[in-house]
């Protein structure tokens, strides 16, 4: 394998069509294609199948006409894009600001803030949303009751607010910070020497240099926003705010399910992904973003001077309000007899925790989640880094195809991807190994996280100069040794980010695994969902806290490993 990859990197070729490079390229394309193209094909073909489920396939345009002829769908699409635009325009700017403060300035407590953003992102959205309802319910919300205010969480801006606090801003900070941190400060130093202010340097030097990192990260947020579901369901549906994903869910929640219409709607993602991929290519084409070279690397931070403590106060206030309050109420809710009811007899109880720990399924669910998260993180780091390396740094034939294939899983909403995999597993001999097993869930999560992992690592690799690798080879190091000892340590913070993101995605995810788990492979997230289904929100909150604890521990370990290897390199 090492020899083969060396061939990839150094461009060693054989003769004719079947030279080593082309064969390896073909293997990679086939392997990646089999896990990414098949679900997309399933989506596209299903959207044209107008036969009832279980009947012989009949092709037609009926699903498309029906789907887009419905004014409710068009309203939902409009609402979705309005929500996405509001969230992203605020979230990306705030994310850039916080990431910059954390990674590029001498603001006190940056590392702690970054860690808190991680935890904010890891916290399951469902119970956090319940926390916000408890606080901002228009009639019984704690804040409205205490201060006589008139906040209403069941509105468009209520949904935007919960998304910003629970997902958009934390994920922006998580995705932007490693890129900010990895960037050499040489150019910023030069800007400052020429008299530019700190904010001017951020706007004119730092942000443009980080475009390859900011664009895919924004794309990740955009896609995640399009398929966002739980918060809209909880806050939007009661007041008639419907989004695209809720409509898709409605269609596949029918019995028999309206797969045709759902998949026709799902193909919108395909267009969105192609547009994003094209925009990304357009933005980075013909530009150089190399900032980590063998010719000197400065990581000196910008001195904020008198703005140090105001910046600290900004982060503290933001995190206390957006994350602290939510967490406090998530924690509180697990001890409430009935969530949100303070005026009943004995409003607080340990009963939910007792019943949770009495549930024999808890231990197996915890174990399943750990196994699922760990396997996804380890396999993800290996797989994603290889794909990203091949795309960015190899001279392999057809690497453009590989790049496109790595984007493809985004083309399908999580719920439909889960369904596609169910069919794939059930209809093939893969069933024995993957249907209802942890291995099946790991594969689902690897596919789902492939675009995130690969784009983040591409952004890391793209900024590495060739000199370090060439120097290692001149010194006699093999490709594999160079890869492990030189390349990977240089992107260690990104690797840690990818590992933790994969871990947390795997242990939190519901949409991709809900059709694939079995009683023996049920993860904690599904147990939490089952409690919610049963109306036992308080017990669900307790399970959610266990999830947060598990992910926090993983985050601490990953950060420690990332920093350690990053420092040692």
Q: Which is nearer to another protein, 240 or 305 (CB)?
A: 240
d(C-alpha 473, C-alpha 42), whole Å: 44
Among 44, 379, 486, 514, binds another protein (CB under 8 A): 514
| Helices assigned H by DSSP within 463-522 | 467-474, 479-482, 488-490, 492-508
Of 491, 493, 473, 492, residue with least CA distance to 482 = 473
Choose the stretch contacting another protein; rule: CB under 8 A; options: 86-94, 419-427, 437-445, 547-555: 419-427
Q: Which stretch binds another protein (CB under 8 A): 292-300, 311-319, 454-462, 511-519?
A: 511-519
Count residues contacting another protein (CB under 8 A)?
Answer: 47
Which region among 189-197, 232-240, 372-380, 487-495 touches another protein (by CB under 8 A)? 232-240
As a whole number of angstroms, the longest Cα–Cα distance in the chain is 83
Q: Please report where in the chains the tokens 């952004």 appear, as a residue.
A: 459
**429 contacts another protein (rule: CB under 8 A):** no
Pick 216 or 413: Cβ nearer another protein: 413
Q: Which is nearer to another protein, 48 or 517 (CB)?
A: 517
Q: How far is the CB of 64 from another protein (least distance, A)?
A: 20
CA distance 412 to 543: 29
Under rule CB under 8 A, residue 338 binds another protein: yes
- Which distant-in-sequence residues (6+ apart) come within 8 Å of 234 by Cβ? 126, 129, 130, 133
Please state the closest distance from residue 476 (CB atom) to another protein, in A.
54
Alpha-carbon span 82 to 256, nearest angstrom: 31
The residue among 54 and 296 lying less far from another protein, judged by its C-beta, is 54
Own/partner pairs, 349-358, CB within 8 angstroms, 24+ separation: 352/536, 352/538, 352/539, 352/541, 352/542, 353/542, 355/539, 356/539, 356/542, 356/543, 356/546
Q: Round to whole Å and give the CA distance between 523 and 363.
A: 10
Write the interaction track for another protein spanning residues 62-101; mark x where CB under 8 A is met and - where it is not.
----------x-----------------------------
C-alpha 197/C-alpha 213 separation (Å) is: 23
* For another protein, the closer CB: 296 or 360: 360
Exposure class string for 271-291: b at 16+ Cβ within 10 A, else e: ebbeebbeebeeebeeeeeeb
Q: Is 474 exposed, middle or buried (0-12, 13-18, 19+ CB in 10 A)?
A: exposed
Q: Applying CB under 8 A, does 255 fall inside the site for another protein? A: yes
Using CB under 8 A, which of 148, 238, 296, 305 touches another protein? 238
Q: Which is nearer to another protein, 20 or 337 (CB)?
A: 337
Q: Determine which residue in the list 85, 149, 254, 309 makes contact with another protein, applying CB under 8 A.
A: 254
Q: Which is nearer to another protein, 271 or 341 (CB)?
A: 341
Pairwise CA distance, residues 449 & 377, whole Å: 10
Determine the number of helices (DSSP H) and then strands (DSSP E) in the chain: 30, 0
Backbone angles phi, psi at 302, to 5 degrees: -75, 135
Instruction: Tell the smallest beta-carbon distance from residue 238 to another protein (Å).
Output: 5
- Which tokens belong to 9? 């990197």
C-alpha span between 270 and 254 (Å, rounded): 24
Give the shortest CB-338-to-another protein separation in angstroms: 6
Q: Is 426 in the site for another protein (CB under 8 A)?
A: yes
* Nearest-angstrom CA–CA distance, 467 and 290: 11
> Between 289 and 328, how does the x/- string for binding to another protein read (CB under 8 A)?
----------------------------------------
Q: Determine contact, residues 516/436, Cβ cutoff 8 Å.
A: yes
Nearer to another protein, 100 or 339 (CB): 339
Min separation Cβ 339 and another protein, Å = 8
Is 436 among the residues that bind another protein (CB under 8 A)?
Answer: yes
Residue from 59, 341, 367, 560 in contact with another protein (CB under 8 A): 341
Q: Which long-range contacts (CB under 8 A, 24 or more apart) does 551-555 make?
A: 551/119, 551/122, 551/373, 551/503, 551/504, 551/507, 551/508, 552/119, 552/122, 554/373, 554/377, 554/500, 554/503, 554/504, 555/115, 555/118, 555/119, 555/122, 555/500, 555/504
Q: What's phi and psi for 105, nearest 5 deg?
A: -120, 170
Q: Are 519 and 507 in contact (CB under 8 A)?
A: no
Q: Which is nearer to another protein, 257 or 281 (CB)?
A: 257
The stretch near another protein (CB under 8 A) out of 96-104, 173-181, 234-242, 476-484 is: 234-242
To the nearest whole angstrom, how small is the minimum distance from the Cβ of residue 225 to another protein?
Answer: 22
Contact segment (CB under 8 A) with another protein among 99-107, 222-230, 354-362, 495-503 equals: 354-362
> Is 55 near another protein (CB under 8 A)?
no
Q: What angle do CA 61, 62, 64 make, to 5 degrees?
A: 70
Q: Does 473 bind another protein (CB under 8 A)?
A: no
Cα–Cα distance measured from residue 455 to residue 459, given in angstroms and rounded to the nearest whole number? 6
What is the closest distance, in whole angstroms, from the C-beta atom of residue 535 to another protein in the complex? 4
Given the complex with another protein, which of 69 and 427 has the nearer CB atom? 427
Residue with Cβ nearer another protein (64 or 434)? 434
Identify the residue among 378, 515, 552, 561 touching another protein (CB under 8 A). 515
**Quick count: other Cβ atoms within 10 Å of Cβ 362?**
17
Q: Is 348 in the site for another protein (CB under 8 A)?
A: no
Which of 15, 476, 535, 568 touches another protein by CB under 8 A?
535
Tallying the residues shown for the chain, one arrives at 569
Considering the complex, what minimum distance in angstroms separates the CB of residue 369 from another protein? 17
Among 16, 17, 54, 429, binds another protein (CB under 8 A): 54
| CA 355 centroid distance within chain | 32
As measured in angstroms, the least distance from the Cβ of 53 to another protein is 7
Single residue of 359, 374, 477, 489 touching another protein by CB under 8 A:
359
Rounded to an integer, what distance in angstroms lies between the CA atom of residue 473 and that of residue 467?
Answer: 10
The residue ranges of DSSP E strands in 348-477, in sequence order, are: none
Q: Where do contacts with another protein occur on this chain (CB under 8 A)?
A: 53-54, 72, 139-140, 233-234, 237-238, 240, 250, 252-257, 337-341, 344-345, 355, 358-361, 422-423, 426-427, 431, 435-436, 514-515, 518-519, 522, 530, 532-535, 537
């Amino acid at each position: 394998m090492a020899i083969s990859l060396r061939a990839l990197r150094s461009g060693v070729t054989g003769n004719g069509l079947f030279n080593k490079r082309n064969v390896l390229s073909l293997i990679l394309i086939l392997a990646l294609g089999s896990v990414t193209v098949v679900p997309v094909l399933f989506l596209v073909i299903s959207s044209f199948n107008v036969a009832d489920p279980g009947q012989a396939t009949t092709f037609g345009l009926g699903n498309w006409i029906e789907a887009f002829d419905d004014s409710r769908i068009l309203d939902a699409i409009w609402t979705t894009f309005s929500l996405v635009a509001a969230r992203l325009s605020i979230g990306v700017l705030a994310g850039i600001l916080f990431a910059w403060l954390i990674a590029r300035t001498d603001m006190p407590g940056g590392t702690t803030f970054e860690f808190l953003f991680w935890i904010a992102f890891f916290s399951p959205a469902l119970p956090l949303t319940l926390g916000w309802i408890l606080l901002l319910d228009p009639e019984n919300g704690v804040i409205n009751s205490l201060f006589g205010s008139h906040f209403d969480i069941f509105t468009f801006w209520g949904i935007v607010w919960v998304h910003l606090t629970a997902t958009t801003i934390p994920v922006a900070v998580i995705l932007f910070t490693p890129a900010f941190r990895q960037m050499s400060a040489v150019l910023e130093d030069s800007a400052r020497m020429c008299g530019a202010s700190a904010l001017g340097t951020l706007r004119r030097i730092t942000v443009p240099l980080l475009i390859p990192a900011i664009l895919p990260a924004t794309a990740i947020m955009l896609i995640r926003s399009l398929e966002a579901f739980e918060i809209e369901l909880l806050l939007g549906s009661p007041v008639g705010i419907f989004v695209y994903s809720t409509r898709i869910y409605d269609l596949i929640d029918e019995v028999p399910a309206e797969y045709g219409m759902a998949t026709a709607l799902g193909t919108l993602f395909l267009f969105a992904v192609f547009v994003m991929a094209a925009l990304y290519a357009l933005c980075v084409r013909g530009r150089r973003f190399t900032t980590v070279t063998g010719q000197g690397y400065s990581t000196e931070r910008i001195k904020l001077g008198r703005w140090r403590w105001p910046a600290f106060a900004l982060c503290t206030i933001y995190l206390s309000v957006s994350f602290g309050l939510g967490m406090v109420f998530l924690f509180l809710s697990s001890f409430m007899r009935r969530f949100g009811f303070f005026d009943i007899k004995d409003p607080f109880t340990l009963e939910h925790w007792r019943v949770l720990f009495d549930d024999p399924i808890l231990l197996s669910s915890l174990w399943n989640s750990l196994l699922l998260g760990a396997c996804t993180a380890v396999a993800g780091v290996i797989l994603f880094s290889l794909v990203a390396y091949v795309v960015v740094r190899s001279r392999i034939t057809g690497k453009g195809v590989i790049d496109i294939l790595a984007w493809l899983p985004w083309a399908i909403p999580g719920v439909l991807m889960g369904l596609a995999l169910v069919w794939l597993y059930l209809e093939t001999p893969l069933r024995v190994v993957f249907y209802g097993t942890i291995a099946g869930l790991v594969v689902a999560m690897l596919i789902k996280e492939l675009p995130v992992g690969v784009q983040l690592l591409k952004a890391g690799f793209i900024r590495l100069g060739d000199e370090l690798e060439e120097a290692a080879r001149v010194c006699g190091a093999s490709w594999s040794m160079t890869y492990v000892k030189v390349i990977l340590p240089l992107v260690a913070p990104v690797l840690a980010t990818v590992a933790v993101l994969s871990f947390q995605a795997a242990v939190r995810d519901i949409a991709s695994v809900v059709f694939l788990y079995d009683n023996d492979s049920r993860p904690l997230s599904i147990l939490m969902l089952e409690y919610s289904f049963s109306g036992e929100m308080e017990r669900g909150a307790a399970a959610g806290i266990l999830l947060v604890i598990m992910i926090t521990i993983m985050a601490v370990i990953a950060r420690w490993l990332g920093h350690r290897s990053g420092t040692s390199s």
